[in-house]
Structure 1
Amino acid sequence: MSENRDSIKSRMLRTAAKMWDYPGVENEAAFDPIVALLMNACAAELAKINREKKLSQSRLTEELARLLIPTAATRAAPAHGIASALPLDGYGYVDQKEQFRCGGPQSGAGRALYFSPTGRFPLVDAGVKCQASGNRICELIDHKYKSVLGYAAGDAFLPPAALYVGLDVSDTIESVEELTFCFSLLNTGQKDFFFNHLSSSRWFLNGRELEKSRGYPPAAGKEDGLKELLTSRYRTSARTCREINTFYERRFVTVRNIERLASARGNLPATIQDIFDTDTLGKVDDHLIWIRVEFPKVVSPKLLDDVFCFANCFPVLNRRDHDLMYRLRENLNIIPLKSNDFFFDIRKIVDSENESYHVRDLDDAQANEENSVLLRSRGVGRFGAFEAKEELQYLLETLKDETASYAAVGTEALEKIVSEINVLMGDLEDKVAGMTVDKTTSYLVMRNLKERDSLFVEFSSTAGSRANDIAAGTRLEVIGRSNIRPGSTLLVTPTVGGRDRLSDREKLISFKRTLLAGNRLVTAEDIKAFCREQLGRRVKEIEITKGVANGMGEKEGLMRTIDIVLTSDERVRTSAREWDFLLEDLLAKIRARVAHSFPYRLVVDENDNRKSVGLDGNAGRATK
């Protein structure tokens, strides 16, 4: 917070009264007039020095951020999760143009949050209704709960390491070209182990093995065109979507060419009929299509009991689309990108002649200024650290000094002008006192060299950390025209990963990490700096040691690891769910930046027996 002249003078008066044994004296009239004049002069100069110091510090920080840190890295990061939906017809798809709304005044949940898919994903009018494993068969309710329909008679069990998935498929569908399945696990301590073996699973329908692949369908990872790749330096949406897709990819399996569904419909596997009694089987929908998923033998039935399997799933991120039409003026135009949330990305910029514009850097001398705009995220021009409200306050203080000097001249004309200025200053001061400054607004700066009439801008915003911790099972409302069935869209996982715009302190931490190693992690100090950048104040100590862990493969024994031991700061409250995401995301980013393939492991609060262990790019958390 900036210091003005009045606050500095008030502190000086209190200090002087204390030094001269004038208890409770804060009025300058109690002192000698020369003392009051000296204090006024000193307070004014100190306020100017403080202002220049803050301006210099801000300019230095912003310049370092511009040179060393990509612009996208300092922006707010969107929360993300996994959602599920059904198409209007038998087949359909979702893409990044879809908008889903969550909450809002009509639901009593405050300001609404918006989500959109991270890519193009196929949808089929089908859903997982039942699961069977071990000695029980369950029904899935609202993608959140399992209702046990019955247990096997006696000591009978289904085949080990086998999961039976009951699909409710529309009668109009005879074959499915692609169907995505997403897996969730209640036992977070075994999450890495399960997802590691999910890629080795085999899928069968009526005894015929199905073609499957790990991750998403090919269309979800479709590369951008040449034009998008050339202008992607300032467009963070595509990069963020790729990172989110990579984060969730190990949870997904895509099954292809599912044929002859008519003969499979209602065909309950013999292994299920043999071990469950008639009453239990009577509770099972006889219209389901059963798929058998075989895992490696090391996957226990108890672990499969904690598994949830869903169909028609896709990652989503907190992103709201905006359309803006701005009437251009001659020469310089400053266009505010106003929204209630943080600016996220520019989608498209065209003028009234349908000519496209791209975002360029201030130092990009080779860019064509006629077809480019500047993007400013921290005010415009000279405002910098002092936003418009503080600039107006400084202007008022300066005008007060100047009007007093003009009034001292004593001419009638000047006194009249000074009186009018004082009246206007009073009105301005009242308005400034009630101002609320929106520091999340970004701006486009352009010169209207072609004398166009208007500019059309499509951009997106994100709510940052406000969109975190939305519970699984929350319904999402489809906005606008869509081929998604109304009321069928909901979140399968809680939302995580939202972050507000970086503060100056967080930027300095990023400076240190960037200066040490750039975007690569080579030494132990590089890893420590990167962990501090990602975890912030949540950790107070980081240590790099050597360790030994059990391998996750069927034929793997003990393996050497590099342990990153994190000591959490108890003063910063962090939930177990947040730790799960932070550690999984951190380890994935470390694996993407290290120069070798040595296995890393994260350990949190080792002395407290709360460990978070991850190998081969995965992380998990086991609580006491």
Structure 2
Amino acid sequence: MSFATAFWDVQKAENFDPVVKLLLEALANEMYLLGEDFNHIESRLLDKTARILTPGIMLAPTPAHGIAHATPFENDYVFRKDTGIYYDVGHSVSDDQLGAVYFYPSCNTPLYKGDVRLLLYDDLIYKVDAALNKTMIARLDQHTSPETVWVGLDLDDNISNLRNMSFYMELPNVVDSYKYLYLLSCSEWYIGDRKISMRRGIYNIEGENDNEVMSFFENYELTHAVDRNILNLYKNNYLTVNEDISFSASSFLPSGFPEEIPEALAMMLDKKLFWIKIVFPGVFAGKMLEDIRIGINMIPVENKLLRQSTFILDDTFGVIPLKTAVSEYLLDVHSVRNGKGEPYHELLYGKSGQGKADNTYSIRRGGCERFDSRSAKDQLEYLYDMLNDEIHAFSTRQNIKLRSHIQQIVQTLSKLKEVLHDMHETGEVPCYLFIDKMKENERITVDYWVTNADMANNLPAGVPLSAPKSAFLEASTLFLVTSTYGGRKEPKEQERINLYKYELTSRNRILTNNDISCFCKKELGELLTSVSIKNGVCIHQSSNGGLVRTKDVYLHLASPLQDIHIEERLKRDLQIKLEESSPDTFNFRIFIDK
């Protein structure tokens, strides 16, 4: 309006002709709306660019994870990644109703018909249950070495070799326990008088693929990357027997085992417990070893569920909606195949010995390629407001036929308002599968993983789990050993742009202080207000390491963490991820300013 007054040399806008003034105001309003549309288009294009160029592992929701215990009915049982267990919630976790929270193992690992029954430290003997809870049952008259722990295993008689048996250990009441878990690999293990070789990490049976190209790219698939990240977080908690160990009756009691055993243990020792002697480094002593928890048949599990849908495609569109329930988010597509059993792949693999390529598909996450960010509910609300405003302009007409049509529109609007009131957008943005080389009336079966993301966090340790009958697991031994954490929804629009900037500038390699700062902001998001990096010096964790230079990372959080265990996990996970993406010469220390 001010530009028009200056152009026409009019002193005041009130002097305009009313019709001219009305036209100018309408034009200004339309220009404003057009500018808003351009802003939406720019934001949408930037978001699409960030989605396409940012690795899928960064944009996908993160499943919650933890440690579960399970004992099979028979030996030589392999707990595979396609075998699920679940926790029956039975009540509302938050505003949304969850019937059950499903967990699947992060690796294929063998389970054994047996368990850790007793732990002996100093002059105390503890009984251990399936959830690793310890109960003191006896006290000896003599003290043992303060750096030694005896582990009593109750194993099935048909188990003849301990090779690849993985032991899980944790230090529940130790500050900065993740620093000591790194030193567990320095402990010495004895069976009888024989020292046995141990390696860090849980035993994982890798799957084999005859196609070398597919086998190479499988390592970069989203589910494989999630499994690998979770296994890295718990790697220091596991030690695995790295040699063939066959035992006999003469090896049940190691040398140095206390000669005086209370009568209360006589019945338990009649089971011929298989004893393992563990000598820890000198830094482990006193209360630390008294509280240590050791067990077998412990599996890292992650919150996800395998769903299956079957569709018949027409000859027009090869688009398949991947439906998720309330509070579920698409994690990844597991497999796609047609009615003949022929597989579809996300990447273009050449068929061995043939010139043609395999069938392919692609995933699109919501939007339907619109140039604005409005969802279906937003579009309906916009339509309702427009009709509700404009309908009054025609309600004064005397035309009977027109008034009848207006009355029908009013009734339709009232129904539309009820539909909008009942719509809940608690799930994720819809995802779609685009099929290439489709045929008319072709049947497509899609298996895809979904997760509850942050809804599965904070399930307490010790809660019982359930398993289908086909799993062949003892129901009384299924427990969560640790509380679940780490679940997150997919990043929001601004977070996606920040992830794109980080990936574009660092290539996921940490070399400078700015890379460290950007990485921390990427991992912690809104929880982190600022981060500072300083150079420091500390004593190396190994006994002969001496002084080493460190990168001290100081985190300034928006709000203090409520639990010391949450703080420990945050520092442990951040340090592991920093070390994974940085040179081996970098030594990190994480501090949280309070």
Q: Given the two structures, how large is their TM-score scaled by the length of structure 1?
A: 0.81
Asked if residue 514 in structure 1 is aligned to residue 514 in structure 2, the reply is no
- Residue identity in the other structure for 1:213: R
Alignment correspondent of 2:139: 151
Alignment correspondent of 2:270: 286
- Shift of the 178–79 alpha-carbon distance from structure 1 to 2, 3 Å rule, reads same
- Residue identity in the other structure for 1:195: L
1:407-418 counterparts in 2 under 5 A?
A: none
Alignment correspondent of 2:166: 180
Alignment correspondent of 1:10: none
Deviations 1:29-52 (A, max 9, x none): xxxx99xx9999699748845862
Stretch deviating more after TM superposition (527-536 or 404-413): 404-413
Q: CA deviation at 1:416?
A: 5.6
- Select 1:489's aligned residue among 478, 482, 499: 478
Alignment correspondent of 1:326: 311
- Select 2:290's aligned residue among 298, 301, 305: 305
The CA distance in 1 between the partners of 2:175 and 2:113, in whole Å, is 33
1:569-608 counterparts in 2 under 5 A?
A: 569-570=558-559, 573-595=561-583, 597-605=585-593, 608=594
Alignment correspondent of 2:552: 563
Asked if residue 376 in structure 1 is aligned to residue 364 in structure 2, the reply is yes
Alignment correspondent of 2:280: 295
The 8 Å contact of residues 54 and 385 in structure 1, kept in 2 or not, is answered as no
Alignment correspondent of 1:204: 190
The 8 Å contact of residues 79 and 468 in structure 1, kept in 2 or not, is answered as yes
- Select 2:78's aligned residue among 85, 89, 93: 93
Deviations 1:230-288 (A, max 9, x none): 66498411111011111111111112423134444xx44564434x5635654754321
Asked if residue 394 in structure 1 is aligned to residue 382 in structure 2, the reply is yes
The 8 Å contact of residues 235 and 347 in structure 1, kept in 2 or not, is answered as no
Alignment correspondent of 1:5: none
Q: CA deviation at 1:84?
A: 1.7
Alignment correspondent of 1:553: 542
The CA distance in 2 between the partners of 1:450 and 1:115, in whole Å, is 36
- Residue identity in the other structure for 1:313: M
Q: CA deviation at 1:63?
A: 2.1
1:214-293 counterparts in 2 under 5 A?
A: 214-219=200-205, 226=212, 228-229=214-215, 232=218, 235-255=221-241, 256-264=243-251, 267-269=252-254, 271-274=256-259, 276=260, 278-279=262-263, 281-282=265-266, 285-287=269-271, 288-293=273-278
Alignment correspondent of 1:21: none
Q: CA deviation at 1:110?
A: 4.4
Alignment correspondent of 1:12: none
Q: CA deviation at 1:583?
A: 1.6
Q: CA deviation at 1:53?
A: 5.2
- Select 1:62's aligned residue among 44, 47, 50: 47
Q: CA deviation at 1:190?
A: 5.3
- Select 2:148's aligned residue among 158, 162, 166: 162
The 8 Å contact of residues 211 and 257 in structure 1, kept in 2 or not, is answered as no
Q: Aligned to 1:602, what secondary structure does the other structure show?
A: strand
Asked if residue 84 in structure 1 is aligned to residue 73 in structure 2, the reply is no
- Select 2:439's aligned residue among 425, 435, 450: 450
The 8 Å contact of residues 182 and 252 in structure 1, kept in 2 or not, is answered as yes
Deviations 1:369-418 (A, max 9, x none): 99222312223232852111112233344556776788899877666655
Q: Aligned to 2:294, what secondary structure does the other structure show?
A: strand
The 8 Å contact of residues 174 and 262 in structure 1, kept in 2 or not, is answered as no
- Shift of the 120–233 alpha-carbon distance from structure 1 to 2, 3 Å rule, reads closer
The 8 Å contact of residues 37 and 372 in structure 2, kept in 1 or not, is answered as no
Q: How many residues align?
A: 562
The CA distance in 2 between the partners of 1:397 and 1:431, in whole Å, is 14
- Select 1:530's aligned residue among 507, 519, 523: 519
Alignment correspondent of 1:73: 58
- Shift of the 447–63 alpha-carbon distance from structure 1 to 2, 3 Å rule, reads same
Q: Aligned to 2:61, what secondary structure does the other structure show?
A: coil
Alignment correspondent of 1:137: 125
Asked if residue 436 in structure 1 is aligned to residue 424 in structure 2, the reply is yes
Q: Aligned to 1:346, what secondary structure does the other structure show?
A: strand
- Select 2:488's aligned residue among 490, 494, 499: 499
Q: CA deviation at 1:502?
A: 0.8
Deviations 1:489-533 (A, max 9, x none): 222222121111111232233233234323112221111111111
Q: Given the two structures, how large is their TM-score scaled by the length of structure 2?
A: 0.84
The CA distance in 2 between the partners of 1:522 and 1:360, in whole Å, is 31
The CA distance in 2 between the partners of 1:529 and 1:399, in whole Å, is 47
The CA distance in 2 between the partners of 1:87 and 1:593, in whole Å, is 37
Deviations 1:98-146 (A, max 9, x none): 0111123289994310000111101111100111122322111342422
Stretch deviating more after TM superposition (217-226 or 433-442): 217-226
- Residue identity in the other structure for 2:308: D
The CA distance in 1 between the partners of 2:218 and 2:32, in whole Å, is 43
Q: Where does structure 1 lack aligned partners over 5 or more consecutive residues? A: 1-32, 362-367, 609-624
Q: Aligned to 2:180, what secondary structure does the other structure show?
A: helix
Deviations 1:83-105 (A, max 9, x none): 22111113311010101111232
Deviations 1:548-581 (A, max 9, x none): 21222112333221211112223x6553222222
The CA distance in 2 between the partners of 1:536 and 1:124, in whole Å, is 41
The CA distance in 2 between the partners of 1:75 and 1:40, in whole Å, is 46
The CA distance in 2 between the partners of 1:465 and 1:312, in whole Å, is 26
Q: Where does structure 2 lack aligned partners over 5 or more consecutive residues? A: 1-17, 349-355
- Select 2:339's aligned residue among 342, 345, 352: 352
- Shift of the 90–449 alpha-carbon distance from structure 1 to 2, 3 Å rule, reads closer
The 8 Å contact of residues 41 and 371 in structure 2, kept in 1 or not, is answered as no
- Residue identity in the other structure for 2:80: D
The 8 Å contact of residues 373 and 445 in structure 1, kept in 2 or not, is answered as yes
The 8 Å contact of residues 320 and 432 in structure 2, kept in 1 or not, is answered as yes
- Residue identity in the other structure for 1:323: Q
- Residue identity in the other structure for 1:582: L
The CA distance in 1 between the partners of 2:544 and 2:584, in whole Å, is 23
- CA RMSD in angstroms comes to 3.5
